[in-house]
Amino acid sequence: MKGPAFLRSLAATCCIALSASVIPCTPANAYANSANANNFNPQPDENDLDRHGHYVNRDGNVIHAPSRSRSGAVPEGATAQCRDGSYSFSRHHGGTCSRHGGVARWQ
């Protein structure tokens, strides 16, 4: 006859095995890149921007670096205006405008 510790261990093992079969084992960001690939991400008019740099975000997408609009209009695809007057095209709130004085307002 097995002791109570063995029974608790057996019950825990059964619960883990059962939950693994019920709960999908899909990473939280598994659909992020496929969703981004299917969504149109508007690109700004490079002729209206004073900077033309890009960076790769945490999802692996190439994003236009913050830039000022020469015409004064909000650039296509801008998600925030930074406190220094530049516009950000970030897809995540964390770190947006971090080297540009922070976010003045979200678009």
Q: Note the pLDDT tens digit of each residue in 15-42.
A: 565 555 444 444 444 434 444 444 556 7
Give the span between the Cα atoms of 12 and 59, in whole angstroms: 35
Mean pLDDT score, 58-79: 94
Give the span between the Cα atoms of 58 and 76, in whole angstroms: 22
For residue 41, what pLDDT is reported? 65
For residue 14, what pLDDT is reported? 57
Give the span between the Cα atoms of 6 and 49, in whole angstroms: 67
Q: N- to C-terminal Cα distance for the chain?
A: 67
Give the span between the Cα atoms of 53 and 66, in whole angstroms: 8
Mean pLDDT score, 71-75: 95
Give the span between the Cα atoms of 104 and 49, in whole angstroms: 19
Give Dmax over CA atoms of the chain in angstroms.
Answer: 82
For residue 96, what pLDDT is reported? 95
* Of 66 and 30, more confident: 66
Within the chain, how many helices (H) and strands (E) appear? 2, 5
For residue 50, what pLDDT is reported? 94
Among candidates 37, 35, 104, 94, which has minimal Cα distance to 74? 104
Q: Is the pLDDT assigned to residue 76 strictly greater than 50?
A: yes
